[in-house]
């Protein structure tokens, strides 16, 4: 894929640009090139136990080693003794990150490039995708998932136990109450969401989810033989996603924080830190640790309005600024050859698929069409990363930018389309990237949500941004006008990727999914063998898009008017 010709531009002209001096190489080419090193990195007879820990909505500034106000001694210690990934990229929202982790593909290649999978949508991870746990099962791994799924469940074939996990315990939707496991998708659309395998886990509520999920992981470790089949455990915490709920004992150390959401949020992060401590203790106690690899990752940037912080990065969850897509990540393992260091190697969430498959002793190149690279030599040995480019996304359904046009994209790309790409040191954004301010950690007792919204949420008057991320990691100096040569080349890359995209999968919501029609719980509602009847894109979404375009001028006028009025009041 990466070696394909650029429409209207030669690869050699791109390579001649400053900061763009690399050789294009596909994931399969990179893997074959590094095969001699990777073949000797671990004894084939002893594949490692893999523990992948994912947190939800944890911001770049929400860990102790980035911000001393947050108490995470366990995570800090694990990261310090392992390898911190300081150029690690994820997706700006939940579903895309999780789909990329389990498939090793950009979401334009799975049809999940728009928004998230809603609870009532007849949609899930495409069935033609061979998932990471399925590949690990093929080489003898015992696979287990605990926590948040959020990859669809309208059919039984969508459930974790049908997508490669031997066992599953957790919630299928995107957000649940941390104690009752009640999940709502709107007024009157609530249901119970805690599942054991493919059945509803009635009667298991009441325990804080971070503790409940940790307890399950420890049980798996206690009952499995570390000398037997290797383990793959995907621990997908619900924390620190809203609602902001936490036992009081975690809140007390943060009593000095004036901002209430920030205080609760910080307490939830500390609860996760304690949970990770208990998991690593169990790894040592039951004999797994010396042959284990622990990967820690968040799924997207933090949400400042709900206590999170990405400071000093720009933007937040749901945006393609660095605050939305640059994630927390580290690897801790006795098997690392070069420990206790900070890595600036470029790593993307799709890279875990081929990297972990390679650690398991299999050949990731057997899976066609991967967008991820095997980055273990870069992480373990400090070698250069084979990854030199990241397609953050192309979303053709997101509200088009009023200032964008094909002409504005030099006839190469319609800059009204929301898209973003990183190539070498350069990052290009088109369309509407989302909320783009720099939000420091809140210090006031409450966040000035209404006034903040009126003052800050103005529609951008441009549709192309270019940043040198290595020299300007906070995206403060847009150089699109100064470097049209780079802009043209990256627009050509977007056009190339767009030609490889599959149709968007975003169906209309199905009223049959209502929990009241399914015993009061969220779960599959399609019958066995029932065929899909939707064409992939919600007609309502298309209608909403047209109405948005029609009303944009009116909304923009009143937003500016209200902003002026509120400014005078302030």
Active site members: 94, 150
Determine if residue 203 is left, alpha or beta; phi over 0 gives left, psi from -120 to 50 gives alpha, anything else beta: left
Q: Cα–Cα distances in Å, from 374 out to 52, 234, 284, 339, 353?
A: 16, 19, 27, 18, 8
The span from the CA of 317 to the CA of 90, in Å, is 11
Q: Which helix (H) or strand (E) holds 388?
A: none
What is d(CA 127, CA 27) in angstroms, rounded to the nearest whole number?
22
Rounded Cα–Cα distance for residues 144 and 236 (Å):
11
Q: Are 244 and 62 in contact (CB under 8 A)?
A: no
Q: Which of 306, 297, 284, 314 minimizes the C-alpha distance to 433?
A: 314
Task: Give the residue from 145, 156, 46, 43 showing the smallest Cα distance to 101.
Answer: 145
| DSSP string over 27-65 | HHHHHHHTHHHHHTSS-TTSPPEEEEEEESS--TT-STT
> Do residues 237 and 148 touch, judged by C-beta distance below 8 A?
yes
Q: How far is it, in rounded angstroms, from Cα 419 to Cα 417?
A: 6
In angstroms, the CA 554 to CA 292 distance is 57
Pairing of strands 182-184, 167-171: unpaired
Which conformational region is residue 279 in: left (phi greater than 0), alpha (psi within -120 to 50 degrees), or beta? alpha
Please tell me the distance from the alpha carbon of residue 347 to that of residue 543, in angstroms, as a whole number. 38
Angstrom distance (rounded) from CA 293 to CA 186: 40
Q: If you write DSSP's letter for every residue of 472-510 in order, what string do you get?
A: -TT-----TTT-HHHHHHHHHHHHHHHHHPPPP-BPPP-
What values do phi and psi take at 123, rounded to 5? -150, 150
Residues in the chain: 570
Verify cis geometry, omega within 30 degrees of 0, for the bond prior to 187.
Answer: no
CA distances from 167 to 56, 142, 170 (A): 21, 9, 10
Query: Are the C-beta atoms of 393 and 91 separated by less than 8 Å?
Result: yes
DSSP-derived 3-state class of residue 426 = strand
Coil, helix or strand at residue 83:
strand
């Amino acid at each position: 894929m990466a070696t394909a010709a650029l429409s209207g531009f030669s690869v050699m002209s791109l390579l001649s640009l400053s900061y763009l001096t690399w050789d294009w190489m596909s994931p399969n080419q990179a893997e074959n090139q590094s095969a001699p090193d990777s073949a000797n990195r671990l004894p084939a007879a002893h594949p490692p136990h893999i523990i992948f820990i994912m947190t939800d909505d944890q911001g770049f500034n929400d860990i102790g080693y980035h911000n001393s106000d947050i108490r995470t001694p366990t995570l800090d210690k694990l990261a310090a003794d392992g390898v911190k990934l300081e150029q690690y990229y994820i997706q700006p929202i939940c579903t895309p990150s999780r789909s990329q982790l389990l498939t090793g593909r950009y979401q334009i290649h799975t049809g999940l490039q728009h928004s998230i999978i809603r609870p009532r949508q007849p949609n899930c991870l495409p069935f033609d995708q061979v998932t990471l746990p399925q590949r690990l099962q093929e080489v003898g791994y015992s696979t287990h998932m605990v926590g948040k799924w959020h990859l669809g469940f309208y059919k039984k074939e969508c459930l974790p136990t049908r997508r490669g996990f031997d066992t599953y315990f957790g919630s299928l939707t995107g957000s649940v109450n941390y104690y009752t496991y009640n999940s709502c998708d709107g007024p009157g659309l609530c249901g119970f969401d805690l599942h054991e395998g493919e059945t509803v886990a009635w009667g298991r509520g009441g325990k804080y989810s971070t503790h409940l999920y940790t307890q399950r992981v420890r049980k798996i470790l206690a009952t499995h033989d570390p000398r037997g089949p290797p383990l793959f455990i995907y621990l997908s915490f619900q924390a620190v996603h809203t609602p902001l709920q936490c036992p009081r004992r975690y809140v007390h150390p943060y009593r000095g924080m004036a901002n209430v959401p920030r205080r609760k949020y910080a307490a939830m992060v500390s609860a996760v830190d304690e949970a990770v401590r208990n998991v690593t203790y169990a790894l040592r106690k039951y004999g797994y640790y010396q042959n284990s690899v622990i990967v820690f990752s968040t799924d997207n940037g933090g949400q400042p309005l709900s206590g999170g912080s990405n400071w000093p990065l720009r933007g937040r969850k749901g945006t393609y600024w660095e605050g939305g897509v640059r994630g927390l990540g580290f690897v801790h393992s006795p098997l690392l050859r070069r420990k206790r260091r900070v890595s600036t190697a470029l790593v993307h969430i799709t890279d875990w698929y081929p990297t972990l498959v390679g650690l398991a002793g299999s050949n990731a190149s057997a899976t066609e069409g991967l967008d991820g690279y095997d980055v273990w030599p870069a992480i373990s040995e400090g070698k250069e990363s084979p990854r030199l480019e990241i397609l953050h996304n192309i979303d053709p359904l997101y509200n088009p930018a009023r200032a964008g046009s094909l002409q504005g994209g030099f006839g190469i790309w319609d800059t009204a389309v929301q898209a973003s790409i990183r190539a070498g040191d350069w990052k290009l954004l088109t369309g509407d990237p989302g909320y783009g301010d720099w939000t420091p950690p809140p210090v006031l007792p409450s966040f000035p949500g209404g006034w903040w919204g009126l003052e800050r949420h103005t529609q951008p008057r441009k549709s192309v941004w270019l940043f040198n991320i290595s020299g300007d990691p906070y995206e403060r100096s847009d150089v699109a006008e100064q470097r049209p040569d780079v802009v043209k080349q990256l627009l050509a890359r977007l056009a190339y990727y767009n030609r490889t995209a599959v149709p968007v999968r975003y169906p209309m919501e199905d009223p049959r999914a209502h929990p009241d029609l399914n015993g009061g719980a969220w779960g599959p509602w399609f019958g066995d063998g029932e065929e899909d009847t939707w064409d992939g894109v919600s007609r309502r979404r298309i209608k909403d898009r047209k109405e948005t375009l029609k009303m944009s001028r009116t909304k923009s006028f009143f937003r500016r008017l209200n902003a002026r009025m509120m400014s005078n009041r302030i």
